[in-house]
Structure 1
């Protein structure tokens, strides 16, 4: 894998994280949590280190509506907390 391929892969995983937050309706809550920049950075890093990007892309294609992320999602706990704060659960 070239360095450019690596960067594209990392960027694609970060985009998946944003897409997941939007799909589950917590993107706005993520922007207003205390120290949101650090929380977002950690969430992006968890997504970047995930090895399930193909499964995640397939999950998006198969789930137009969803209440929770897939079980393998490394940001599952964060999303649940943000949903709780938003009163979605």
Structure 2
């Protein structure tokens, strides 16, 4: 089981990655495009990343905006779907 600090760290990375790609996760939930369980799955997928430090560096380099996430991101496909207005 993941520690609370690990889950919080990855929840932050997921939120920052989504925002950087132009996806407001809260808005998508309210619109019914993202279920709470989908967000939980995204956070758990993120915890399986072997190098979250690279993600943090990538996010810092983007200046808050990017069309696409990095190839190694386990949630890029999810964020691309949501950005296109599709349901997760």
Same-fold status (TM-score > 0.5): yes
Consecutive unaligned residues of structure 1, counting only runs of 5 or more, are: 1-5
Q: Which moves more between the two structures, 31-40 or 50-59?
A: 31-40
In our comparison, the structure showing a higher alpha carbon Rg is 1
TM-score by length of 1: 0.76
Matches within 5 A, 1:1-89: 6-27=3-24, 28-34=27-33, 36-64=35-63, 65-85=65-85
RMSD over aligned Cα atoms: 1.9
TM-score by length of 2: 0.77
Consecutive unaligned residues of structure 2, counting only runs of 5 or more, are: none
| Structure 1 residues 12-56: Cα deviation after superposition (integer angstroms, max 9, x where no partner) | 122100111112121222543356111111111111221221000
Q: How many residues end up aligned between the 2 structures?
A: 81
